[in-house]
Structure 1
């Protein structure tokens, strides 16, 4: 059961100048890497500066230093964007996933809410792990063995970390009803 989204953001957009002096350096770091500036999840996160700093550190690890490839990392983020119908998450990460080498057909199948066809072996494992974890809150012994063989232990742990973290990001975006940039088409048109 979904609730209709309001027409305005729940949290007024913060600017760098509005941040607490202790959070301004964090704001500058965010502006250096974010495709949505201080918008999106950052606008919500910055209401809790200590959380925002720690979350940004986690996001930095997951996006830039994870043991899994950028292609699989971005695919895992898109999986959560699709599950959550997260407009901002999809808007921000779809081009990053394609740039990282995810086939457009795989991303487009996911967007259409079908199991992507023609996935590479590591993509299929990542998809199955992420989906089983979200749907069943666990994975089967068979899938665990396959994932461990294809990804290895650290990559499997990092896959779970990225997919779980981007559930949090999707929830923050939903809480704040954060929009995509003005004038851009919605990835998931509202019905």
Structure 2
């Protein structure tokens, strides 16, 4: 572990923290990932963060392949090794090709077979490179995915950026 992060012993948590810990463990994740172990000292923040995470990861307009692709771009941008360690596996499971994962990890633009993958990558990568999404790219994303989905994509990029920042501040190592 690091000097700022240690795995949580659930038996040593306050009642409020233990309730949130147990809710996460019983939810779709079926475990309490390190990010939530880092946050659980603030049960209120953890509860709200994990609820937003369930939405961003499992309930947006995007299929898992596209969500996981966007998350990889976030993890690479922030050099969040924990986030990358979790989502590299999840991206593979969701159908993101190994060559695409390897290219993103190496900092190269992947060769995409699917235009939706290319559009998600361009949207996320352009935003992180320039702090902006140019009008033509924004319009292309809205035309392809719809207004609601573009809002959710922006939320997904923001949510996983927040996690990446927390992971970096607390020096959370890749999950074993």
Fold equivalence (TM over 0.5): yes
| 1:1-191 correspondence to structure 2 within 5 Å | 8-32=2-26, 33-34=28-29, 37-181=31-175
- Contact 1:80/1:166 (8 A) holds in 2: yes
Distance in 2 between the 1:21 and 1:68 partners?
36
Distance in 2 between the 1:22 and 1:47 partners?
9
Distance in 1 between the 2:88 and 2:9 partners?
26
Distance in 2 between the 1:147 and 1:34 partners?
29
Larger displacement relative to structure 2 (15-24 or 166-175): 15-24
The runs of 5 or more residues in structure 2 that have no matched partner are: none
Deviations along 1:21-80, one digit per CA (max 9) or x if unpaired, are 122122123234548x54521122112111110000000001111111111111111111
**TM-score normalised by the chain length of structure 2:** 0.91
Distance in 1 between the 2:12 and 2:24 partners?
15
**TM-score normalised by the chain length of structure 1:** 0.84
Distance in 1 between the 2:148 and 2:36 partners?
28
The runs of 5 or more residues in structure 1 that have no matched partner are: 1-6, 183-191
- Contact 1:14/1:38 (8 A) holds in 2: no
Change (3 A) 1:22 1:98: same
The structure that is helix-richer by fraction is 2
How far residue 181 of structure 1 moved from its aligned partner, in angstroms, is 3.8
Distance in 1 between the 2:10 and 2:169 partners?
21
